[in-house]
Amino acid sequence: MMFEEQPLDRPPEYRPPGRASSPTRWIILGAGAVLVAALLTLWWMSRTRPTPATPAPTTATESALGPPRPKSQFETLPALDESDTFLRDLVTTLSQHPVLARLLATKGLVRGATLAVVQIGDGKTPSSPLAVLRPGTRLQILGPDTGRIDPASYARWDGPTSALTSVDPIHAAQLYVNVKPLFDQAYQDLGNPNAEFEAAIVRAIRTLDDTPQLRADPTLTRRTSYFEHEDPALRSLLPVQKQLLLVGPDNRRRIMQWLKQVATNLNLKI
C-alpha cells in the first residue's frame, strides 16, 4: 500500500527501531543499487537524446494567421493623372456590373476613390466623388411627416451594393496591391506626406463598423429638404454613419462583410 493510500482514520502501524536482519539488509542494498543504476541510465539518455524538432504548422494554425498578402504583379505603372484607362481596364476584367461601369466612366478614378475613403474615415458622406452612385429615387417614410423608413426604400441602394460586392474580395486585394503606389501618391497629395493609403482604409472601415446595429427601421422626421432621425442618439451619429443606416440592414451587412474580407486579404487589422 502506498503512503497516499494509508487509511485516514488511524495512524500508521508503529514498529520499534532496530537493526535489520542480514537478508533484509542485502535486499535493501540491492534495491538501492538498482535505483541508482536506473537514475544514471535516465540521466545518460536525457543527455544523448536529440531535441525534438518543432512540428510543422498545421493547416488550422496556418489558417488562423490569415491568407498571405498578395504581391504586386506590376513593376511599372502609369502616371497618377494618366491612370484612368489603365485602372478601368483592370477593374472591368473583374466585374462588368453596369453600376460599376458608370463609376469607372468618371475621370480621376484613383483620386476620387482616395478622397471618398478619406471622407468616410472623417465621418463625412462622400457625395461628391461618388455622385454617380446616388439613387434616382427619393427616400420614403411610412407617414406624412414622421414615420419609419419604408423598407422598399432600401432597394435604392441594391445597385451600388451589388456593384461593390460583384468584385471578388481576393481579386480586389490583388488589384489594390498592384496599383498601391498610385493610391499612396493620391493620399499624400491630400496633405498626408510620407503616409500610406492603407491607414485611411483602416480608418474608414472602422468608422463604418462603429455604426450601431438597429433592431427596427429608424423613425425619421421630414424637413424642408432632408430627413432627420427622431432618436437623439442617431442624430448625433457621424453623417456617413447616418447614411449607412439608410442603405438597409441587408445591404449594410453585405458591404461590411466585403470590406472586412478585403482587409483580411490585405492583412490589415480592423
The pLDDT assigned to 67 comes to 78
Residue 119 C-alpha cell reads as 471622407
The one-letter amino acid at 28: I
Residue 4 C-alpha cell reads as 497516499
The pLDDT assigned to 247 comes to 96
Q: If you average pLDDT over every residue of the chain, what do you get?
A: 83
Distance between terminal CA atoms of the chain? 61
The pLDDT assigned to 65 comes to 59
Q: What is the pLDDT of residues 99-122, one digit of tens each?
A: 999 999 999 999 999 999 999 999
Q: What does pTM read for this prediction?
A: 0.75
In order, the DSSP letters of 88-132 are: HHHHHTT---HHHHHHHTSS-HHHHHHHHHHHHHTT---TTTTGG
% of the chain exceeding 70 in pLDDT: 76
Q: What is the pLDDT of residues 127-182, one digit of tens each?
A: 999 999 999 999 999 999 999 999 999 999 999 999 999 999 999 999 999 999 99
The pLDDT assigned to 134 comes to 93
Mean pLDDT of 213-233: 95
- The C-alpha cell 466585403 sits at 258
Nearest in space to 87 (alpha carbons), one of 99, 74, 98 = 74
- Would the pLDDT of 216 be above 80? yes
pLDDT band at 48 (very low <50, low <70, confident <90, very high): very low
- Would the pLDDT of 6 be above 90? no
- Would the pLDDT of 47 be above 60? no
| CA 14 to chain CA centroid, nearest Å | 70
Mean pLDDT of 19-32: 43
Mean pLDDT of 242-262: 97
- Would the pLDDT of 258 be above 70? yes
- Would the pLDDT of 61 be above 60? no
